[in-house]
Structure 1
Amino acid sequence: MKKRSIVLLLAVMFVLVGALAGCGTSGDNGDGDTTTLRIGATPVPHSEILEFIKPMLLEEGIELEIVEFTDYVQPNMALANEELDANFFQHVPYLEDFNQNNDTALSAVILVHFEPLGIYPGQTASLEDIQDGDKVAVPNDTTNEARALLLLQEAGLIELDPNAGLEATIRNIISNPKNLDIVELEAAQISRALPDVNIGVINGNYAIQAGLNAGEDALMAEDKESLAAQTFANVIVIRTGDDREMFETLKTALQSDEVRNFLEEKYEGAVVPVF
């Protein structure tokens, strides 16, 4: 091969390498490139909140990529497997239980909001009309089932072993005067199951997704001023030890006055800021 041809070939190779490098978004090199932040989230309200802060992050050199999930398991597995930088769908008790049961090392880093759990009518329109043997749907994951059962206890329908705490399941019910048939379902399925049960206890995000509002439609809901609001605040979760600076930028955006106003105006009490 002639010397001139070799020089031309090398020149083309350098151009191609440079073009491929320019396609990457893994970091800010000081020349205006953006850092990509990939967050897994359930659609409502988490993905909506992240969409709201996209322009705020872009101004700081961070391009936010949102990956939507419809369950409570895959977002944590994807994060642990480094397919995501962070996720946004859960509260700390659920995260701690997940870490323990799946040998993952994930940490909550940003408190964002609280979604009141509510008891919603299915075939029965009020708590006073609940009859012997009626069906009640509750989430089947550990912490949210306990939370649902505690709400049913507050409504006077059941009594739990006081030692069960946030690990309570139907096996910890010590009094069930109406012999309620408590059906454990995946949290995402309960809103769709309402026509088949008398009442259902639904997580805030799935209630919103189904067009329900804890402040307007629930027969009873957790109080936004209660201990539950602090315990079950929804959080941004990352891999333990990941201290990249972009998470501080994300925290500033999510805990801003703009986001507070967005939550209060859009969700009208169904999503409550905790910052």
Structure 2
Amino acid sequence: MKKLSLFVLAIITALVLSACGSSSASTTEGKETVKVKIGVNGSDGIQWPILQEKAAKEGIEIELVEFADYTLPNNALAQGDIDLNAFQHLSFLSQYVKESGNDLIPIGSTMFAPLGVYSEKIKDISEIKEGDKIAIPDDPTNQARALRLLEAGKLITLADDFGLAGDPSQITENPLNLEIIPMVAQQTPRVLPDVTAAIINNGVAGQAGFSPGEDPIFKEAGDNESIYPYVNLIAARAEDKDNETFKRIVELYQEDDIKQAVAEDTKGGSSLVILTQEQLDETFSNLLK
């Protein structure tokens, strides 16, 4: 009986040691896995699985939470349903913070995705003629940005105090009497058969099957500080500004393999832009004024 008891004890000990070994194998360098939910608007970019794989090697499990439009990811972040989001530029975030009062902040830059003018009817913006219909996004910051793009194309003139959240009422000159039609950003590609041209967000264009690097007949330039308000970002709640895990996710995103993935995925339509935290903070602070 004594020998049997010792035998049973040995089996139990072996099972316990085996279980401990399995637990250790499921950790990364002795660290427990940290789960982070990131809200996105379109999770099909090839940078995301690359980021997830790199983060997993450091014990960070990234779950992508996809949202159907631009109004939901910031609310979800503010309410604590997700930990970070990555879908918007600085100007959009500043507008949300001013309107909602929720304390969200940028903790890292990601990419610059220029707005483009797309058309099924013309090949050059100079071909736009009297009375043509132009569709633009209707969210405040991208609407203003789209109107700025039409001004850059010498189609309209905007008021001197137009700013970053202006609207069509601040068009001071419209010599071609263009009919400018604001609409939900995701609808802009779908109305191309019915309008002369549409200004389409880079990500929305990609989802609609366009090549943002090749298909626009006119697009934003992205070579100076004027683009800072439109640089995309990773946002967090202000209370998490010093979270080391979140900072590490930003660092992993800004590495060369992600840079190459973004260029490849968008066929040159978007580019990784790395702003320092000081540049982010300064731009964001100015936008909040």
TM-score range, shorter chain: 0.7 to 0.9
Between the aligned partners of 2:133 and 2:28, the Cα distance in structure 1 is 59
- What does 1:133-148 align with in structure 2 at a 5 Å threshold? 133-148=131-146
Q: 1:56 is matched with which residue: 48, 54, 57?
A: 54
CA RMSD of aligned residues (A): 2.0
Q: Does 1:253 pair with 2:252?
A: yes
**Structure 1 residue 252: deviation in Å?**
1.5
Q: 1:69 is matched with which residue: 64, 67, 70?
A: 67
Residue 198 of structure 1: aligned partner: 196
Residue 177 of structure 1: aligned partner: 175
Q: 2:125 is matched with which residue: 120, 124, 127?
A: 127
| 8 Å CA contact retained: 1:97, 1:143 | yes
Q: 2:154 is matched with which residue: 134, 153, 156?
A: 156
| Distance verdict in 2 for CA 1:29–1:200, change over 3 Å | closer
Between the aligned partners of 2:100 and 2:138, the Cα distance in structure 1 is 17
Tell me the TM-score normalised to structure 2 length.
Answer: 0.81
Tell me the TM-score normalised to structure 1 length.
Answer: 0.85
| Distance verdict in 2 for CA 1:174–1:248, change over 3 Å | same
**Structure 1 residue 29: deviation in Å?**
11
Q: 1:82 is matched with which residue: 73, 80, 91?
A: 80
Query: What number of residue pairs does the alignment pair up?
Result: 249
Structure 2 residue runs of 5 or longer lacking an equivalent are 1-22, 275-289
Residue aligned with 1:90, SS:
coil
Residue 232 of structure 1: aligned partner: 230
Q: Show structure 1 runs of 4+ deviating over 4 A.
A: 28-32
Identity of aligned residues (%): 34
Give CA deviations for 1:79-104 in whole Å, capped at 9, x if unaligned. 01100000000001110001111221
Give CA deviations for 1:54-93 in whole Å, capped at 9, x if unaligned. 1110111100000011211100111011000000000011
Residue 16 of structure 1: aligned partner: none
Between the aligned partners of 2:243 and 2:107, the Cα distance in structure 1 is 12
Higher alpha-carbon deviation: 125-134 or 254-263: 125-134
**Structure 1 residue 122: deviation in Å?**
3.8
**Structure 1 residue 30: deviation in Å?**
8.2
| 8 Å CA contact retained: 1:123, 1:196 | no
Between the aligned partners of 2:43 and 2:160, the Cα distance in structure 1 is 33
Between the aligned partners of 1:113 and 1:171, the Cα distance in structure 2 is 30
Residue 8 of structure 1: aligned partner: none
| 8 Å CA contact retained: 2:146, 2:199 | yes
| Distance verdict in 2 for CA 1:145–1:119, change over 3 Å | same
Between the aligned partners of 2:67 and 2:254, the Cα distance in structure 1 is 23
| Distance verdict in 2 for CA 1:259–1:30, change over 3 Å | closer
Between the aligned partners of 2:31 and 2:229, the Cα distance in structure 1 is 40
| 8 Å CA contact retained: 2:28, 2:58 | no
Between the aligned partners of 1:79 and 1:50, the Cα distance in structure 2 is 19
| 8 Å CA contact retained: 2:110, 2:233 | yes
| 8 Å CA contact retained: 2:124, 2:218 | no
Amino acid in the other structure paired with 1:139: P
Between the aligned partners of 2:181 and 2:195, the Cα distance in structure 1 is 9
